[in-house]
Amino acid sequence: MKLIELSSNDVRFKPLIFKKDVSLNIIVGEKVLKNDKKKTSNGIGKSLSLICIDFMLGKGSQSKEIKKLKEIMKKEDIVLSLTFEHENQIYRIQRSHNQILLNEEVYTKESEYIDFLNKLVKDYSFRNLFSRFFRTNKDSYNEAVKQVTLNENPYENNKINAYLLGLDLEYLEKKKELKSKSDRLKVLIKELNAIQKTINREKEIEYEEKLEKIEKDLESFEIAEDFNQLKSEADILTSEIQTLRNQKAFFNREIRNKKNVIDVN
């Protein structure tokens, strides 16, 4: 795409004619009075020219600059015209605040005009590609490889840049796949660590409850006054029971022996 001319029906707007035979066109603000230090090139329309071109090539009213431009165009009844060449075909766009003419064909909806622009390029939208070359946002200049905005998805930014440079996108897509797997693993590890902490804490709480119960039992435990006497009597009874059990076992053994003798004879 090559820009040819930007003009307006407003006589105050000096047409911008882009030279075909050069690689670079520069808009320069020239001071009329060189000795007057207070007289600068601010306000002569350098930035406004860029905003107008951006508007003519589909930038929407979500931009504050475009919204303000359309308000002025409506108030002053201004029509902008942009002529450009693409693939050896000349296009002339005329835009008012609410109407678009392309080679005298009227577009009543801005979305229809955007569809036309998208057909001029392949694989990506026109605005997505155009914004790599035409930077009007301040944050477009913070980093060399982030031309649109710092909030743009890094993968999409890198992919479009690689596409425009004619690079092999397979490696970039593989990197995205590996990055996605890495992110999922990080989430999984985090979840497992959280579960492990929960398990350990549950065991800790269980032991704390058992310890608390034991401590309460110890505090409420009282030894009877006749404990020693009762213990002595219990020991005697236990001994007597054991003696009886031993005697019973002895008698049973004697009976079995005598029975065996009888069976043999």
Q: Give the CATH number of domain 1-28+41-122.
A: 3.40.50.300
pLDDT tens, position by position, 1-59: 889 999 999 988 888 998 888 878 887 776 665 566 555 556 667 788 888 999 999 98
pLDDT tens, position by position, 161-191: 888 888 888 888 888 888 888 888 888 877 7
Residue 5 backbone dihedrals phi, psi, to 5 degrees: -160, 140
Tell me the Ramachandran region of residue 116: left when phi exceeds 0, alpha when psi lies from -120 to 50, beta otherwise: alpha
Q: How many residues comprise the chain?
A: 265
Cα Rg of the chain, angstroms:
46
Question: Which secondary-structure segment (H or E) carries 105?
Answer: strand 105-107
The partner residues of 244 in beta bridges, in order of sequence, read none
Q: pTM higher than 0.85 for the full model?
A: no
Report residue 104 as tokens.
């005298």
Rounded distance between C-alpha atoms, residue 130 and residue 148, angstroms: 10
Asked whether 16 and 6 are in contact (CB, 8 A), the reply is yes
